[in-house]
Structure 1
Amino acid sequence: MSTAEPPTIFDVMPGLRMPVSEVSPMLSQMWNTTFDPSSENPSEFRASQMNVILHFGLKTSPEEAKARFETAISFAQKYPCRIITLCPMGRERSDRLLEGKIFSLCYIGDSMRDMCCCEAVILGYPTREAGFLSSQVSIWLENDLPTYHWFNRIPAERITQMHMDFVKRCRRVIFDSSIEAEDGNDLLSIEWPRPEGVIDLAWARLLPVRQSLGQFLSAVEPKKLVDGLLKVEARGQAPLKGEAANLLRWCRECLEKCTKNPLSVEFVMGDCPKDHSLELEWTYSDSRHLLWTHEADSAVAQITADFGVGHMSAPMQVQLLDSEKALAEAMFFA
């Protein structure tokens, strides 16, 4: 008795399935129909600002793929774009050819003037066809608009060997180090053509933490922050290892700007207790110290510090950016 094949990433994506050859003609026609003769044409509300390529690796689960896709669609409601989603199929589907889907949706607010129309093109491909992806995707891009590429669980060596053509045309490349760390994948090890355009979503999500800590530390004389500092340790729960690493990186960059001399400070990653999601601790050669903790599953943080001018302790209300806001931060501001 044969068993049904488990669904692939492509299978769980929403949209109308069609041959790849029909996708481009359908894209040209899909916004030409008017809902009502007396109303505006939907094409008036589809003013794309960019292309977003959402590129999944084989280790992406269908559930994770759906969550990333939903984030991209939510993002598109505020920043209209054409989303191109690339879904690999493993060896068990290696006999298949390229498959396409089109997903389109209009969101209507209080009036038709609040309507926003977005579209997604979804490509399912056997991994043996990965070398042809760049050519296929180039047909679907709106070529007069900037392109952003979001990698999810694609090994660094595969990006280097097969997907650098994508990178060269992109304004920014986005990844999530907290997710990649689960697979032992270090995308920062890649020699990117434009390293300044490669943005970590974990860094973007950390924006409110950097802002609140920066505001607190700005009241302290820079010399007092670095004199006698021995160790800076960041700790994060498993889903936030990327955030912890970026918090450590941020501390190093800030402290280096506080002195003209080389820092003799140990920067380390540690394990976080279960009741906290993130922690940051500075250790000095004397009684001075800093400890910042963020409670798990909450927006509550606490900081205690002594920089030689008296003990300070304060609660903080701080929460990591949600997925949609973090994506916007990574694309436009980080």
Structure 2
Amino acid sequence: YSQCFLSKDLRDRCCCEALILGYGTNEATYLEDQLSVWMASDLPIYHWLHRSSVDLLNANYQHFLDNATRVVLDSAIDNHGYEALSCAQPGILSDLATARTARLRQSLGQFLAATPPLYLIQNLTEVTVSSQPTFKAEAQRLLAWQEDKLCRCDVKSESDRKSIEFRLIDLPEGAANILESKWIYEGETQLSWKLPDGSEVAWVRTASNGQSREHPLRADPFKPAKALSEALFF
């Protein structure tokens, strides 16, 4: 348990943080009563879930989660289906696996923003993201991010997009790249990106009309503290 006072007067408002281990479900009422002593309703509340049962959370701790500003998880080590939480309002769940790839997503987004949305999805048939086993969670989130942005391109361009298949592919341990993605088009158009093992620079490759180019992109993963800040506040 820790307190961070917002002024020199110890009687003034403070931020409180508690780490509670070993509480059974039958103590939920007592726990709620104790927390209400020092937790003001106008302060933002953040939860970091780790290997918690969704059923138990829904049954006994919904009050805490309903009032949360953000609920953080890490799908790389804890894949417990938190999306099924009954309190999971849109945008409240935040995955550290997503936060760690923020730099790569920013760089890719800036690069792709130079292309009209219609051109990005025109004749696009398949999008794959491949990863080594230790980066599978990040690959899943990157695939979902690309799917979401391409669907938005479809709405923005008001086109009749063909069905695009989105797939995850496993790379063997020791492969040259830890993450890579391919956008497969009909015809000669190609777009792909890769993040080599041990590198903080990703490379995006485009090919069209018989010409091929490669572009470097900043892709250094966020360190744990910065990833947690990204997951909590952005």
Q: Tell me if both proteins adopt one fold, taking TM over 0.5 as the criterion.
A: yes
> Secondary structure of the residue that 2:33 maps to in structure 1?
helix
Letter in 1 for 2:195: H
Change (3 A) 1:301 1:193: closer
Query: Does residue 1:221 correspond to 2:84, yes or no?
Result: no
- The residue aligned with 2:31 is 133
* Distance in 2 separating the partners of 1:190 and 1:227: 37
Q: 2:17 aligns with which of 83, 88, 108?
A: 83
SS at match of 1:212: helix
Q: How does 1:204-219 map to 2 (within 5 A)?
A: 204-219=99-114
Partner amino acid for 2:213? M
Q: How does 1:61-80 map to 2 (within 5 A)?
A: none
Residue 155 (1) aligns with residue 47 (2):
no
Aligned-partner Cα distance in 2 for 1:85–1:169: 18
Conserved 8 A contact 1:205-1:320 = yes
> How many corresponding residue pairs?
227
- Which of 170, 173, 194 aligns to 1:271? It is 170
Match for residue 201 of structure 1 among 80, 93, 96: 96
Give the deviation of 1:143 after TM superposition: 4.4
Match of residue 294 from structure 1 = 195
Whether the aligned pair in 2 keeps the contact of 1:152 and 1:175 (CA below 8 Å) is yes
Aligned positions of 1:1-334 closer than 5 A? 44=8, 81-88=15-22, 125-126=23-24, 129-130=27-28, 132-181=30-79, 185-259=80-154, 260=158, 261-273=160-172, 274=174, 275-308=176-209, 310-333=211-234
- Structure 1 residues 293 and 197 mapped into 2: Cα distance closer, same or farther (>3 Å)? same
Tell me the TM-score normalized by structure 2: 0.82
Question: Per-residue deviation at 1:245?
Answer: 1.4
Cα shift at 1:174: 1.3
Say which is worse superposed, 197-206 or 224-233, in terms of deviation: 197-206
Q: Percent identity?
A: 32
SS of alignment partner, residue 183 of structure 2: strand
Shift of 1:231: 0.9
Deviations 1:155-181, CA, capped at 9 Å, x for gaps: 322222222111112111111122223
Change (3 A) 1:296 1:159: farther
Q: Any idea what the Cα deviations from partners look like across 1:259-307, whole Å, max 9, x if unmatched?
A: 2234510011111343322211111122322221112233132221224
CA distance in 2 between counterparts of 1:297 and 1:142 reads 45
Q: Would the alpha carbon gap of residues 330 and 49 (structure 1) be closer, same or farther in structure 2, given more than 3 Å must change?
A: farther
Residue 132 of structure 1 deviates from its aligned partner by 4.1
Contact kept, 8 Å, 1:178 with 1:242, in 2: the verdict is: yes
Distance 1:44 1:186, change over 3 A: same
Change (3 A) 1:137 1:238: farther
- What residue identity is the alignment partner of 2:227? A
**Secondary structure in structure 1 of the residue aligned to 2:52:** coil
Higher relative contact order (CA 8 A, sep 6+): 2
- CA gap of 1:83–1:241, structure 2 versus 1, over 3 A, is farther
TM-superposition CA deviations, 1:193-226 (whole Å, max 9, x none): 5222222222222211111111221222322211
Give 5+ residue unaligned stretches, structure 1.
1-22, 32-41, 51-80, 89-124
- Any idea what SS the aligned residue of 1:152 has? coil
| 1:224 and 1:307 in contact (8 A); partners too | no
Residue aligned with 1:154, SS: coil
> Counterparts of 1:149 and 1:207 in 2: how far apart (Å)?
21
Residues in 2 aligned to 1:238 and 1:223: alpha-carbon distance in whole angstroms: 34
Which amino acid in structure 2 is aligned with residue 305 of structure 1? T
Task: Map Cα deviations across residues 98-153 of structure 1 (whole Å, 9 max, x no partner).
Answer: xxxxxxxxxxxxxxxxxxxxxxxxxxx35653564333333343544211111111
| Structure 2 gap ranges (5+) | none
Report the TM-score, using the length of structure 1 for normalisation.
Answer: 0.60
- State the AA in 2 paired with 1:276: N
